[in-house]
């Protein structure tokens, strides 16, 4: 995995400045379009052009199961992972609908679903039949971690080869909010109670149990929290590792990433720990309803595009934010300048 240590390019500051100058000339008061102005200037730098676009989208959903589900930390049984993968492939999931509406390429990658699925449209890069139980030991072996990271890198390379304007990574895996919360606590040193949310819909008793399981996980692996790949290997899931690989490789290839919610941001935190320059290539799509997400947003020092109380995953929140990005680009490209419209500028 030599690619893991490849460097990330820097955003194009000349393109950013050209976009900033164009924004200043459009027929509106400076800053009147708020965050839409900021995000289009960022996109200009990431795409290396003064007038960015978000026409070609590549969405990859990684699916895997978690051994920690054996601890009873989810409101849904583990078989739901495989059932939802089938739903993705049949076009009935939220991300399936959103991808169709956006005209996006959507691919589903099995990186370790416990119940193998045979489907002609399913990409299989399995690292195992689900991870081991992280409350008892490391979630995956070093070899399994490498396989999952590579699956993500391969997805980013396919997106770059297809000349995508933007990459979105999604995930599916029962109990993955437990794994992600443990990662948040390990990376950000967040109190467990503050970071833990209901996931798929736990009641108060279920939440308290989940907190205790996460406490056991953290106590089991605490001596390895100074190494991001070890945090990922011990606490994470195959789909979280794949997302980490995808974010790293996308940044190395100069491909902008629109990050989804709570689980996806856990992968982003690890990717940035491995290579800080990855942060330049990540746009946060929305604020998750999971409480721990607040701490990651603060750490990344970004303002997410949306705050809609979303907590579905699948890449759905990122997909929902795409029309906003498209409108930002359209305004940037198509609004008249003061000179072209013969409108007087600011006194």
CB atoms within 10 A of CB 81: 28
Domain that holds residue 20: 9-51+332-341
Do 279 and 248 share a domain, yes or no? Answer: yes
Query: Looking at residue 342, what is its pLDDT?
Result: 83
Do 221 and 286 share a domain, yes or no? Answer: yes
* Average pLDDT value for residue range 45-71: 99
Do 76 and 160 share a domain, yes or no? Answer: yes
- The tally of domains found in the chain comes to 2
Query: Looking at residue 341, what is its pLDDT?
Result: 86
Is 300 inside a domain boundary?
yes
Do 23 and 75 share a domain, yes or no? Answer: no
Residue 275: strand, helix, or coil: coil
* Average pLDDT value for residue range 72-98: 98
Element (H, E) at 123: strand 122-124
Q: Radius of gyration of the chain from Cα atoms?
A: 20
Residues taking part in catalysis: 314
Separation of alpha carbons 142 and 144, rounded Å = 5
Do 19 and 139 share a domain, yes or no? Answer: no
Which CATH number characterizes residue 39's domain? Answer: 1.10.1610.10
* Average pLDDT value for residue range 76-104: 98
Is 109 inside a domain boundary?
yes
Query: Looking at residue 108, what is its pLDDT?
Result: 99
Do 31 and 77 share a domain, yes or no? Answer: no
Query: Under the phi-then-psi rule, with left for phi > 0, alpha for psi from -120 to 50, and beta for the rest, what region is 93?
Result: beta
Do 241 and 129 share a domain, yes or no? Answer: yes
- Token pair recorded at residue 81: 């992972």
Do 287 and 194 share a domain, yes or no? Answer: yes
Query: Looking at residue 347, what is its pLDDT?
Result: 65
Is 346 inside a domain boundary?
no
pLDDT over 70 (residue 180): yes
- Token pair recorded at residue 116: 């193998």
Query: Looking at residue 291, what is its pLDDT?
Result: 96
Do 253 and 336 share a domain, yes or no? Answer: no
Separation of alpha carbons 23 and 1, rounded Å = 42
Separation of alpha carbons 79 and 145, rounded Å = 23
Do 71 and 169 share a domain, yes or no? Answer: yes
Do 39 and 74 share a domain, yes or no? Answer: no
* pLDDT digit string, tens, across residues 207-237: 999 999 999 999 999 999 999 999 999 999 9
Is 347 inside a domain boundary?
no
Is 2 inside a domain boundary?
no
DSSP 342: T
Is 3 inside a domain boundary?
no
* pLDDT digit string, tens, across residues 28-52: 999 999 999 999 999 999 999 999 9
Q: CA 203, 315, 120 angle in degrees (round to 5)?
A: 110
Are β-strands 122-124 and 105-112 bridged in parallel, bridged antiparallel, or unpaired?
Answer: parallel
* pLDDT digit string, tens, across residues 234-293: 999 999 999 999 999 999 999 999 999 999 999 999 999 999 999 999 999 999 999 999
**DSSP letter string over 247-277?**
HHHHHHTT--EEE-SHHHHHHHHHHHHH-GG
C-beta separation of 21 from 46 below 8 A: no
Query: Looking at residue 199, what is its pLDDT?
Result: 84
Which CATH number characterizes residue 301's domain? Answer: 3.40.50.10210
pLDDT interval class at 1 (50, 70, 90): confident
- Percentage of residues of the chain with pLDDT beyond 70: 99
* Average pLDDT value for residue range 18-34: 97
Is 69 inside a domain boundary?
yes
- Token pair recorded at residue 339: 């000179």
pLDDT interval class at 335 (50, 70, 90): very high
| Average pLDDT for the chain | 97
- Token pair recorded at residue 10: 């820097």
Do 198 and 276 share a domain, yes or no? Answer: yes
Element (H, E) at 258: strand 257-259
Q: Which among 167, 306, 164 has a CA at the least distance from the CA of 247? A: 167
Separation of alpha carbons 26 and 41, rounded Å = 14
């Amino acid at each position: 995995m030599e690619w893991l240590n490849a460097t990330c390019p820097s955003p194009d500051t000349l393109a950013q400045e050209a976009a900033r100058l164009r924004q200043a000339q459009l027929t509106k008061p400076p800053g009147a379009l708020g965050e839409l102005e900021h995000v289009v200037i960022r996109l200009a730098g990431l795409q290396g052009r003064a007038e960015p676009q978000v026409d070609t989208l590549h969405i990859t959903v990684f699916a895997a199961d978690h051994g920690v589900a054996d601890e009873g930390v989810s409101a849904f049984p583990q078989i739901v992972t495989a059932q939802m993968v089938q739903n993705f492939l049949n076009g009935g999931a939220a991300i399936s609908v959103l991808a169709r509406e956006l005209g996006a390429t959507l691919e589903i990658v099995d990186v370790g679903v416990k119940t193998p699925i045979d489907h002609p449209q399913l990409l299989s890069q399995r690292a195992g039949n689900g991870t081991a139980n992280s409350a008892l030991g490391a979630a995956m072996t070093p070899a399994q971690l490498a396989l999952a990271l590579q699956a993500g890198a391969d997805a980013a390379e396919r997106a770059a080869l297809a000349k995508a304007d933007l990459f979105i990574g999604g995930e599916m895996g029962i109990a993955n909010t437990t794994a992600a919360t443990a990662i948040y606590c390990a990376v950000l040193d967040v109190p467990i109670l503050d970071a833990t949310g209901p996931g798929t819909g736990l009641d108060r008793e279920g939440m308290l149990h989940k907190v205790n399981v996460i406490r056991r996980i953290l106590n089991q692996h605490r001596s390895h929290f100074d190494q991001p790949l070890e945090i990922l290997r011990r606490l994470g899931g195959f789909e979280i590792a794949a997302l980490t690989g995808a974010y790293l490789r996308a940044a190395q290839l100069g491909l902008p990433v629109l990050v989804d919610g709570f689980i996806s941001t856990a992968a982003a935190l690890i990717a940035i720990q491995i290579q800080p320059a990855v942060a330049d290539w990540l746009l946060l799509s929305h604020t998750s309803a999971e409480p721990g997400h607040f701490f990651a947003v603060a750490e990344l020092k970004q303002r997410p595009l949306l705050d809609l109380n979303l907590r579905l995953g699948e890449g759905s929140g990122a997909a929902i934010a795409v029309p906003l990005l498209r409108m930002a680009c359209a305004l940037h490209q198509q609004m008249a300048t003061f000179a072209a419209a013969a409108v007087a500028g600011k006194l």
